[in-house]
Amino acid sequence: MKNFTLYLAMAACLLASKLSAQEEKNKDRDITFEMKVKLIANKIDAITKEEKAALKIEIEDVNKELEAGTITKAQADEKKMQLAEIRSKNIETRVGQAQDELKDVVKQKVDGKLKSDWDHFSFRWGKGDKTKQDSIRNNRSEARTTSQFVFAAGVNNLVTDGAVAHSDYRYWGSHFYEWGFTNNTRLFKNDNLLHLKYGFSVMYNNLRPTQGRYFVANGNQTDLEYSPVNLKDSRFRNVYVTAPIHLEFDFTKTGTNADGKKLFRTHESLRFGIGGYAGFRVKSKQILKYNDEGHNNTIKQKGGFNTEDFIYGVSTYLGYGATSLYLKYDLNPLFKDNAIKQNNISLGVRFDLN
């Protein structure tokens, strides 16, 4: 009897485990592309706020030491710089992990493994719950200013003598990523066509030279040189914080609710944006990978490489709904004093998610 009770308990535990696993699978199926991206966006925002708050407390402690006379002003300034650098690296590492999650989510969307929000609503509620769908859309339509999380990714290269042809950099191996937040303000009270979009973005521009070459700073010139060792990979990355601004034409039709009130929806039809951006360089890094006598080696070189500290350019996008084809071009050259001026250009896909 005891054995029978034990077997019964084991069977119940096994059944509960299978049901729990099935529930988790069902939950995963219910999560949409927009929901996953929004969760990651919230995570990135929380990371930034957490690290900044911690830095603020640490700096206050340093100020207390300075007021108490236990350290000099020079020591306090140096300590603050060290603390800021540590927090900056923490943000870079933690946000980098979140970016990897974003890339995986985008790949799932491209592969058709994730549904969009409106597919999700239709699947769960069906036509009989159209009132609930309309209620959600109407609430979002009442605000004149809304906010979006922006994520973009694609290929990156340099324009030399007005062309990208015969580039010194791999076309598909060189890429860019961008993430940020924007506000979207309808410019006219009773017309939905024109919107002003503004916010901040973090841009990652990567270049991979061809033929085993890498960047070398020779005085005030930065040259591409052939490596003395057989490079498996050579990548040059520049990271910028920018403030983009766009004039957006949104052709989403204006609707009305049951009371005849106008509803100004966005991101539900053809959209076109044109504008630009300006910002500053956070850092530059070159990563070299090579094999030496059967051992894989990686060298990370940090420095200015004579790159411009400030960035400004023009950008445009054209798309439907939340997804757009995105093009951006730096008006200032990548390197300050190089004899041949080369400007960064990027082409990719952009997601503006409410």
In this structure, is residue 134 part of a structural domain? no
- Close Cβ partners of 215 (under 8 Å, ≥ 6 residues apart): 209, 222, 223, 224, 225, 236, 286, 305
- 220 with 337: CB under 8 angstroms? yes
Question: Could you tell me if 106 and 155 lie in one domain?
Answer: no
pLDDT value of position 142: 62
Query: Cβ distance 145 to 183 under 8 Å?
Result: yes
Helical spans, DSSP H, in 166-314:
none
Note whether 304 and 292 are within 8 A (CB): no
Q: Are residues 149 and 105 in the same domain?
A: no
> What is the tens place of the pLDDT at every residue in 7-27?
445 554 454 454 455 554 544
What's the confidence (pLDDT) of residue 50? 85
Domain count, the chain: 2
pLDDT computed for residue 139 by the predictor: 52
Same domain? 203 vs 340: yes
Q: Which residue has the tokens 């409410």?
A: 354
**pLDDT under 70 in the chain at which residues?**
1-30, 34, 103, 107, 109-112, 114-142
Q: Is residue 117 a part of any domain in this protein?
A: no
Q: Are residues 222 and 101 in the same domain?
A: no
**Is residue 97 domain-shared with residue 155, that is, in the same domain?**
no
Q: Measured between alpha carbons, how far is residue 43 from residues 99, 164, 324, 347 in Å?
A: 10, 37, 24, 26
pLDDT digits (tens, 9 = 90+) for 158-193: 999 888 888 999 999 999 999 999 999 999 988 889
What pLDDT sits at residue 295? Answer: 80
Distance of CA 170 to the CA centre of its chain: 22
Rounded-to-integer distance, Cα 354 and Cα 140, Å? 9
Q: Are residues 84 and 184 in the same domain?
A: no
If asked whether residues 191 and 326 sit together in one domain, one would say yes
Q: How far is it, in rounded angstroms, from Cα 238 to Cα 308?
A: 10
Bridge partners for 113 per DSSP? none
Domain boundary among 86, 110, 134: 110
Domain boundary among 110, 136, 153: 110
208 and 318, same domain (yes or no): yes
185, two tokens: 């303000």
pLDDT for residue 2? 44
Tell me what pLDDT residue 90 has.
Answer: 82
Residue 340 near residue 315, CB atoms below 8 Å? no
Domain residue limits at 210: 144-353
pLDDT of residue 266: 86
What is the spatial distance between Cα 73 and Cα 87, in angstroms, rounded to a whole number? 21
Q: Return d(Cα 105, Cα 153) in angstroms, integer.
A: 12
Q: Is residue 139, in this structure, part of any structural domain at all?
A: no
